[in-house]
C-alpha cells in the first residue's frame, strides 16, 4: 500500500509506500508469464490534443485482435512465495475457488486478513473451462486483492497479463488497482484502450472514470504539476457530486470518487478519529492511506492502517518522519520527538511508552516491536507485552512474569511456570487463573475466550468437554453462534487434512467480524482446526492477536 503526501504529486507512478512486507516471508520466486501475449499500453505522458475535451491521441489504442489465454492467466500470482504450498488448491474445483474469491466481506482482523491474502495469492492448478465471465479466476483474484486493499499485489497481477483484460470484471479491477496504487494517469490511458464490451457491465463506473480523466488532462487542472490532482479533484467533485455525510458512506464510493473527495479535502472531518476510521473497509482505508498527506490530522488514519496490516512498517516510519514538528498545535509532537530522538532507527524507550496514551499512539509503536529479542525498557512491561502480541512476535516467559509482577510467585504461579512450555501458554494459563481468583479484571466473557485459546493450542485431558465448557461460560446474548453445520464441516476437514477447506471455512466463520466478536466456541473450533491441520503459525498468529486485545495495560 502506498502513502503519499510528503513528495510532490506524481501522476504516473506509485508515490511512496508499496505493499506490506512480512518478516517471515520467504524469498519470492518470479512467476512464469505465459507467452505469447501482447504489450499493454505504454506508460507515456499524455499530451493534450487541440480538443480540450479529449484525452491525448498518444494514448495507445491497442490491438484487440489478440485473444487472452484464460487458463494461463488463472494460474498466475504476483507473489506466489507468500502463498501456501503448491498443492493447496489440489483436487479443488473451479466452484471452490469461485466460492472463496466471490464474497466481498473482508475480515476486521489483521491475522485473518493476512490469512485471506495468502489464500488469494496462492496459485491455483489448471481448472476446467468455463464460458461464464463471472467465474474467471484471474478476474476474481484481482477483485479480491482490491477488496483486501492490497493494491500493490493487485496491480502486479494486472500487469502480468499483457493482453486486454479477459472480462469486464478484470478490466474494472485492474483500473481500480492502478488507481489505488497511485498510477492515475496510467489508468486513464489504459481505460482508453478498452473496447465497449469491457465497459458494458458498469457504465456508471466508467463514466466517472472518464469524467475524472477529462478534468485531470484538461485546462481546469492547470499547469502546476503539484496542484494538478487537487485541482482536477475539486472540479470532479463539483461535476459528480459524490454524497458522503458519515464515515461509513465512504465505503459506497468508487475508488476515483474516494480519491477526489480525499484530494479536495472533503473527507477531513470524517477520517480524523479512530471511531470513524473503524467504519471504513480495507479497500477504502487503503486508498485513503495512499493519498494521505503526513500531518497530525492523518496520524489516526495511519494508526488504523498499521493496525489492520495495510501499511508496511518501514513506510509507516517514513510517513511519521515527514510530519512537521514545528506546528506547536500538533498533539503528537512530544510523542514523535521521542520516537525520533535517536539519529538512527527509532527505538523503544520508557518515555515513549509513557506517551503512548491511546490506541493510535500504541499502533504507531507496532513497527518498533517487530522482533521479540529487542531491548524492552524497564517500565511499562505490560504495554510491551501487549505490543509484542499484536505485532505477532514470540512472547518471552520472563517478560510475562515481569509484566504481571511475579517476582515472588505464588505456589500456583510456580506450578504454571513448570507446566507451561512457552510465554504464550504461561500467559493464557496465568490469565485464566487470575480470573478464577478475581486477581485480574477481565471484561465480558474473556474467561471463555482464554479457555478457547488454551484448549485449541494446548490440548488437555478434558478436551472432549471443551465445547460444553465454553458454551456454558458464554451467555446467549453476547455473541452470534455460527450455524452448527459449518463448525462440523470445519472439524471434519481438519481431521481429513483438507487444508484449503480448513482455511476457507475458518475465514467464512470469521467473515467481516473482529476476533473479539467471535463466539468463544467458534474461535476454539477455528484454532483447533488450523492447529490439527498443521497450520501452527496461522494458529499462533490468531492467538497472538486475541491475547493482545485481552491484555489491559
Instruction: Say which residue, 318 or 470, is predicted with more confidence.
Output: 318
Q: Which of 382, 527, 498, 465 is nearest to 91 (CA)?
A: 498
Per the structure block, which three cell numbers stand in for 248?
461509513
One DSSP character per residue, 536-549 reads HHHHHHHHHHHHHH
| pLDDT-derived band at 9, boundaries 50, 70, 90 | very low
pLDDT tens column, 51-99: 444 444 344 443 333 345 778 898 888 998 899 988 899 888 999 999 9
Please state the domain extents for the chain.
309-370, 431-550
Taking CA atoms, 78 is separated from 31, 103, 121, in Å, by 7, 21, 7
Taking CA atoms, 499 is separated from 125, 503, 515, 521, 530, in Å, by 15, 6, 21, 20, 8
Per the structure block, which three cell numbers stand in for 322?
515527514
Q: Which of 189, 180, 96 is nearest to 143 (CA)?
A: 180
Q: Provide, rounded to the nearest whole percent, the portion of the chain with pLDDT above 70.
A: 81
The set of residues, in sequence order, having a beta carbon less than 8 Å from that of 384 and lying 6+ positions away, is 348, 353, 369, 376, 377, 399, 403
Length of the chain: 553
SS3 51: coil
Q: Is the pLDDT of residue 147 over 80?
A: yes
Helix %, strand %, coil % for the chain, to 5? 55, 0, 45
- Cβ atoms of 458 and 448 within 8 Å: the answer is no
pLDDT tens column, 356-409: 999 999 999 999 999 767 789 999 999 999 999 999 999 999 999 999 998 755
Q: How many CA atoms lie within 13 A of 147 on its CB side?
A: 21
**The pLDDT value given to residue 411:** 57
Give the mean pLDDT of 165-184.
97
pLDDT tens column, 491-503: 999 999 899 999 9
How far from chain centre, in Å, is Cα 222? 35
pLDDT tens column, 403-422: 999 875 565 666 666 667 89
Let me know if 168 is exposed, middle or buried by CB neighbors in 10 A (0-12, 13-18, 19+): buried
Amino acid at each position: 500500500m502506498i502513502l503519499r503526501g510528503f513528495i510532490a504529486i506524481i501522476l504516473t507512478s506509485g508515490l511512496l509506500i508499496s505493499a506490506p512486507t512480512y518478516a517471515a516471508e520467504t524469498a519470492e520466486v518470479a512467476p512464469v508469464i505465459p507467452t505469447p501475449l501482447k504489450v499493454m499500453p505504454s506508460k507515456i505522458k499524455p499530451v493534450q490534443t487541440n480538443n480540450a475535451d479529449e484525452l491525448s491521441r498518444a494514448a495507445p489504442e491497442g490491438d484487440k485482435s489478440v485473444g487472452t489465454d484464460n487458463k494461463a492467466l488463472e494460474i498466475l500470482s504476483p507473489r506466489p512465495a507468500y502463498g501456501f504450498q503448491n498443492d493447496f488448491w489440489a483436487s479443488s474445483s473451479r466452484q471452490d475457488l469461485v466460492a472463496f474469491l466471490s464474497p466481498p466481506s473482508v475480515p476486521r482482523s489483521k491475522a485473518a486478513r493476512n490469512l485471506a491474502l495468502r489464500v488469494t495469492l496462492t496459485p491455483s492448478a489448471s481448472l476446467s473451462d468455463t464460458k461464464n465471465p463471472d467465474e474467471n479466476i484471474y478476474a476474481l483474484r484481482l477483485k479480491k486483492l482490491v477488496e483486501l486493499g492490497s493494491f500493490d499485489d493487485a496491480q502486479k497481477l494486472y500487469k502480468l497479463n499483457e493482453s486486454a483484460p479477459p472480462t469486464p470484471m478484470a478490466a474494472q479491477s485492474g483500473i481500480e488497482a492502478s488507481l489505488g496504487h497511485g498510477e492515475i494517469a496510467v489508468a486513464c490511458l489504459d481505460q482508453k484502450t478498452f473496447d465497449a464490451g469491457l465497459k458494458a457491465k458498469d457504465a456508471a463506473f466508467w463514466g466517472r472514470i472518464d469524467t475524472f480523466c477529462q478534468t485531470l488532462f484538461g485546462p481546469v487542472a492547470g499547469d502546476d504539476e503539484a496542484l494538478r490532482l487537487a485541482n482536477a479533484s475539486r472540479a470532479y467533485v463539483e461535476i459528480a457530486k459524490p454524497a458522503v455525510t458519515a464515515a461509513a458512506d465512504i465505503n459506497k464510493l468508487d475508488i476515483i470518487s474516494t480519491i477526489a473527495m480525499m484530494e479536495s479535502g472533503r473527507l477531513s472531518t470524517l477520517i480524523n478519529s479512530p471511531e470513524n476510521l473503524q467504519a471504513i473497509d480495507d479497500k477504502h482505508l487503503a486508498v485513503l492511506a495512499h493519498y494521505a498527506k503526513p500531518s497530525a490530522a492523518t496520524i489516526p488514519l495511519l494508526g488504523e492502517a498499521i493496525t489492520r496490516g495495510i501499511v508496511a512498517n518501514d513506510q509507516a516510519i517514513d510517513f511519521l518522519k515527514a510530519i512537521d514538528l514545528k506546528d506547536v498545535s500538533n498533539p503528537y509532537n512530544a510523542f514523535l520527538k521521542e520516537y525520533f530522538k535517536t539519529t538512527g532507527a527509532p527505538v523503544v524507550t520508557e518515555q515513549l511508552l509513557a506517551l503512548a496514551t491511546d490506541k493510535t499512539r500504541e499502533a504507531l509503536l507496532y513497527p518498533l516491536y517487530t522482533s521479540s529479542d529487542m531491548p524492552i525498557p524497564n517500565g511499562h512491561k505490560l504495554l510491551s507485552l501487549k505490543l509484542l502480541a499484536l505485532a505477532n512476535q514470540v512472547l518471552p516467559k520472563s517478560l510475562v512474569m515481569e509484566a504481571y509482577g511475579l517476582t515472588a510467585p505464588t505456589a500456583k504461579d510456580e506450578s504454571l511456570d513448570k507446566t507451561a512450555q512457552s510465554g504464550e501458554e504461561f500467559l493464557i494459563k496465568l490469565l485464566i487463573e487470575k480470573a478464577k481468583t478475581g486477581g485480574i479484571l477481565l471484561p465480558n466473557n474473556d474467561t471463555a475466550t482464554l479457555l478457547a485459546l488454551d484448549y485449541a493450542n494446548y490440548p488437555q485431558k478434558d478436551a472432549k468437554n471443551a465445547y460444553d465448557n465454553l458454551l456454558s461460560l458464554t451467555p446467549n446474548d453476547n455473541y452470534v453462534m455460527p450455524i452448527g453445520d459449518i463448525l462440523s464441516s470445519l472439524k471434519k476437514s481438519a481431521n481429513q487434512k483438507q487444508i484449503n477447506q480448513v482455511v476457507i471455512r475458518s475465514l467464512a466463520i470469521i467473515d467481516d467480524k473482529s476476533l473479539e466478536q467471535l463466539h468463544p466456541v467458534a474461535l476454539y473450533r477455528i484454532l483447533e482446526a488450523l492447529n490439527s491441520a498443521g497450520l501452527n503459525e496461522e494458529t499462533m498468529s490468531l492467538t497472538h492477536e486475541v491475547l493482545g486485545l485481552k491484555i489491559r495495560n
